[in-house]
Amino acid sequence: MRWWLTALLTVALVSPAWAADGSIDEKALLEVREVVKQLQARYEKTNDLQADFSQKTKIEGFERPVTSAGKVYIKKPGRLRWDYLDPATEQIYVNQEDVKVYVPEHKQVLVGKLTQMAASKAPLELLQGAAKLDESFEVEPTMGKTRGAGGIPLITLIPKAKDQESTQTLQKIIVEVFPKTYYIRTVSLHEISGNVAVFEFSNLKPNLGLGGEVFDFKTPSDVEVVRAPVLNGP
């Protein structure tokens, strides 16, 4: 199971941004609040979404990052399909709390619950734009002078629940949005271990009217079904 699948949407409250002298950086705070507002509004109006993605994962201790690419499909409420197409094929289907991971090469489909998966809930929430970010994350401006495309401020998400398995390893998430549309452009997952996974989305196609057949997985007759009590990332 891909290690990362737990950290992506919702946006609501913004925690204070502090300047070096201890005072609140009002400008940074207002800017981030506006980005949050626009992002939330955009995803609230999006019933379904199709996009291409590329993933680059830098693993601590390894010189070269691991790269992959594919397509993602999202449909409200609670439907997600994530297809890895390169360098290997792997399909992940999410329907509310039910998750299926199909690996054609192994002729096996892994079946489990979203709540059992250390790295799945966050990306699903983030991409769906559930607008409840304040329940799981502190939302704040990103430190430093680096900005995203079009000069739009980056958003940093800090996990609140340190006792959850998914947040014990996750340090922060940094989100960049597209100018004008405010759809998510990049998501960077930073682990406490030093591992960093960066997802970049492109060729976004919202509100295509994606049907349920896109998200319904039909198990091939020659595929073994494995029910996993716990689905943890490596």
Residue spans of the domains in the chain: they are 26-227
CA distances (Å), origin 87, targets 19, 42, 54, 68, 102: 44, 32, 11, 6, 15
Strands (E) in the chain, as ranges, are 48-58, 66-75, 79-86, 90-95, 98-103, 108-113, 137-141, 155-159, 170-177, 184-191, 196-206, 224-227
Reported as a pLDDT band with limits 50, 70 and 90, residue 141 is: confident
pLDDT of 226 over the 60 cut: yes
Reported as a pLDDT band with limits 50, 70 and 90, residue 127 is: low
Tell how strand 79-86 and strand 90-95 pair up: antiparallel
Q: Which two tokens stand for residue 52?
A: 């291409």
Q: What contacts 212, CB < 8 A, 6 or more positions away?
A: 75, 79
Do the Cβ atoms of 113 and 97 come closer than 8 Å?
yes
Q: In 68-221, which ranges are continuous DSSP H helix?
A: 121-128, 133-136, 165-169
Q: Look at the domain 26-227 and name its fold.
A: outer membrane lipoprotein receptor (LolB), chain A (2.50.20)
Tell me which residue of 130, 119, 155, 142 sits closest to 231, measured CA to CA.
Answer: 119
Mean pLDDT of 26-54: 87
Percent of the chain scoring above 70 in pLDDT: 74
**In whole angstroms, how large is the CA radius of gyration of the chain?**
18
Mean pLDDT of 65-90: 91
pLDDT of 215 over the 90 cut: yes
pLDDT of 233 over the 70 cut: no
Amino acid at 152: I
Mean pLDDT of 76-102: 89
Please tell me the predicted confidence (pLDDT) of residue 231.
41
Tell me which residue of 157, 133, 141 sits closest to 13, measured CA to CA.
Answer: 133
Q: Give the span between the Cα atoms of 233 and 228, in whole angstroms.
A: 13
Residue with tokens 């199709």: 50
CA distances (Å), origin 43, targets 136, 183, 196, 201: 18, 7, 25, 15
Q: Give the span between the Cα atoms of 43 and 194, in whole angstroms.
A: 30
The average confidence (pLDDT) of the chain is 79
Q: Give the span between the Cα atoms of 62 and 56, in whole angstroms.
A: 13
Residue with tokens 């680096």: 146
Q: Give the span between the Cα atoms of 191 and 134, in whole angstroms.
A: 20
pLDDT tens for 151-207 read 999 988 887 765 455 546 778 889 999 999 999 999 998 888 888 989 999 999 999
